[in-house]
Amino acid sequence: MSMLNSKKIHIKTYGCQMNVYDTERMADVMAPHGYRTIDTPEGADLVILNTCHIREKAEDKVYSDLGRVRAEKDRLAKEGKRMILAVGGCVGQAQGAEIMARAPYVDMVFGPQTYHRLPEMLARVERGERSVVDVDFPVVEKFDTLPRQNTHESPSAFLSVQEGCDKFCTFCVVPYTRGAEYSRKAADVIEEAKALVQQGVMEITLLGQNVNAYHGAGMDGADWSLARLMKELAKIDGLERIRYTTSHPRDMSDDLIAIHGEEKKVMPYLHLPVQAGSDAVLKRMNRHHTAASYVEIIEKLRAVRPDIAISGDFIVGFPGETEEDFCATMALVETVGYSSAYSFKYSIRPGTPAGEATDQVPEEDKTRRLALLQGLLGRQQFAFNRSTVGMEMDVLFDRVGKYEGQILGKSPYLQSVHLLGHPELAGKIARVKIVEARESSLKAELV
Ligand code: 5AD
Ligand code: SF4
């Protein structure tokens, strides 16, 4: 085909790993239509901003980037070339036609559940439709029509198994932007995993907004849990590492906890957001767990896998959060001991219950609390990293580093590890010794 690779697409990814996965799949959808991926919007025929709506900052970034891409679009127009500009992802879903009003130079808007229809939307724009907005939720159709992941280069891949969320935490837009919970069929997941492994993938991270709520149709007719699914995936030869994210404490079932002790391919790491340490705040967040029930889960996990690394998400300054509530968060962090974590100031999200609360926390309190929390989490991360110095471990080297001969990889605990002088190990799993710890990375030597 002469069309092949003649057009250029640039997709910018914001936000979570689900978006990273979606971006790759968008590229897969467009490849058969002659689009090859480029790293900047310069000279692109199609630019997609795959956006995030989780906090206000993420959303603001989209609008400022849109302005910049527009400048390139205008420049190309002067040369007689047309760039089609699209907003996809969760801002697209949440704001739909509003984006067209605010940024009329945008040609199309779509959400996380309709990007399999990209070629169709594009054809409509090319036929002269002024603005195409597609923000349905045909999630089953999407997974059934997406092409296979076909150009995977890294030895580590994401695989989306579950989408959407029915939990309705009162601060969160996800149930509105990603829609109701949906689990893919186990057979489809396994087929996709096998195809990835055939392309050289050794590590798969199963993705879902609520991944441990997975309950897809199994290969034996029964619904399968995430643990059951991972057991099946673990049978795939050549697949060495299995991870999953993000989990909700309420769905940490006993079989899922147990698999951390039973299945070697399931990595000793768990991202388990707790959000806050005060039960009063957790209740107002509609989290359906307490600080104590969370700690109990961590204890059970450590009973079956003593070295498991725990990561989390935190929100400070949720409406009505008192100084005492915040101290409960600090106390919980002390109790758990995190290997890494993400923490945020509460951000008002339109349409969510907490966004309407009248007892919003002043910005300066949020700033101070976040600094204290991040200080503590940073010290814990450094301590965790130091505790691995002297250890020998298998590292999957999945990237080349900034320096000549340097490669970067991930430890079983998802620490970033760098190694000098062995570029031949890029793309491989190698046994290394950790010789030095920094706050957010480790230095290794070959054993
Ligand atoms: N404000 C701040 N942080 C939020 N998160 C979700 N919604 C908000 C919000 N409105 C955080 C939570 C979640 C992570 C993905 O983003 O900690 O776990
Ligand atoms: Fe948002 Fe809560 Fe669902 Fe996570 S569990 S996606 S925080 S509503």
Residues 207 and 327 in one domain: yes
Q: Do both 336 and 379 map to the same domain?
A: yes
Task: Name the domain boundary from 344, 369, 387.
Answer: 387
The answer on 58 and 38 residing in a single domain is yes
| Domain harbouring 96, CATH code | 3.40.50.12160
- How far, in Å, from the CA of 161 to the mean position of ligand 2? 16
Residue 119 lies in a domain: yes
In a domain, 270, yes or no: yes
Q: What per-residue confidence (pLDDT) applies to 40? A: 96
| Same-domain status, 416 and 338 | no
Residue ending a domain, among 336, 365, 387, is 387
Same domain assignment for residues 133 and 120: yes
Note whether 247 and 289 are same-domain residues.
yes
Q: Give a yes or no: residue 396 inside a domain.
A: yes
Q: Would you state the pLDDT for residue 141?
A: 83
pLDDT at 146: 84
* pLDDT, position 2: 43
DSSP 233: H
Closest-CA residue to 276 (of 310, 325, 322): 325
CATH of the domain at 295: 3.80.30.20
Q: Same structural domain for residues 331 and 252?
A: yes
CB distance 172 to ligand 2 below 6 Å: yes
From 111, 138, 165, give the residue that closes a domain: 138
| Distance from C-alpha of 32 to C-alpha of 35, rounded to nearest angstrom | 7
Residue 17's φ and ψ, nearest 5 degrees, are -70, -25
pTM: 0.94
Residue 233 in any domain: the answer is yes
326 inside domain? yes
Q: Whose CA is nearest to atom 9 of ligand 1?
A: 347
Number of domains in the chain: 3
Query: Residue 365 class from Cβ within 10 Å (0-12 exposed, 13-18 middle, 19+ buried)?
Result: middle
Judgement on whether residues 181 and 251 belong to the same structural domain of the protein:
yes
Q: Which residues of 204-221 are buried (b: 16+ CB within 10 A; e: fewer)?
A: bbbbbbbbbbbbbebeee
Q: Looking at the domain assignment, is residue 285 inside a domain?
A: yes
How many whole angstroms separate alpha carbon 96 and alpha carbon 51?
Answer: 12
Minimum-distance ligand to the CA of 164? 2
Angle between helices 118-126 and 17-30 (to 10 degrees): 60
Residue 197 sits in the same domain as residue 346 = yes
Regarding whether 150 and 133 lie in a shared domain, the answer is: no
Q: Cis peptide leading into 246, omega within 30 of 0? A: yes
- Å from CA of 52 to ligand 1 middle: 11
Please give the pLDDT value at position 203: 98
| CATH number assigned to the domain comprising residue 412 | 2.40.50.140
Give SS3 for 309: strand
Q: Does 360 share its domain with 434?
A: no
- The widest CA-to-CA distance across the chain, in whole angstroms, is 67
What per-residue confidence (pLDDT) applies to 151? 65
In order along its 447 residues, the chain shows pLDDT tens digits of 445 568 999 999 999 999 999 999 999 999 999 999 999 999 999 999 999 999 999 989 999 999 999 999 999 999 999 999 999 999 999 998 889 999 999 999 999 999 999 999 999 999 998 888 988 888 878 888 888 776 678 999 999 999 999 999 999 999 999 999 999 999 999 999 999 999 999 999 999 999 999 999 999 999 999 999 999 999 999 999 999 999 999 999 999 999 999 999 999 999 999 999 999 999 999 999 999 999 999 999 999 999 999 999 999 999 999 999 999 999 999 999 999 999 999 999 999 999 999 999 999 999 999 999 999 999 999 999 999 999 999 999 999 999 999 999 999 999 999 999 999 999 999 999 999 999 999 999 999
The token pair that represents 297 in the structure block: 């889960």
The number of beta carbons lying within 10 Å of the beta carbon of residue 276 is 25
Calculate the CA dihedral of residues 43, 46, 50, 51 and round it to 10 degrees: 80
Residue 239 lies in a domain: yes
Ligand number nearest to the C-alpha of 167 = 2
Whether 181 and 64 share a structural domain: no
Residues whose CB is less than 8 angstroms from the CB of residue 254 and which lie 6 or more positions away in sequence, other chains included: 300
In this prediction, residue 139 carries a pLDDT of 80
What local confidence, expressed as pLDDT, does residue 148 receive?
A: 74
Question: Is 2 part of any domain?
Answer: no
- Which domain does 93 fall in, by range? 7-138
Q: Which residues line ligand 1 (CB under 6 A)?
A: 54-55, 171-172, 273, 275, 313, 315, 344, 346-347, 349
Placement of tokens 């471990």 in the chain: 393
The helix (run of H) or strand (run of E) holding residue 155 is none
Judged by its nearest atom, the ligand closest to the C-alpha of residue 178 is 2
Describe the chain by its helix, strand, coil percentages, rounded to 5: 40, 20, 40
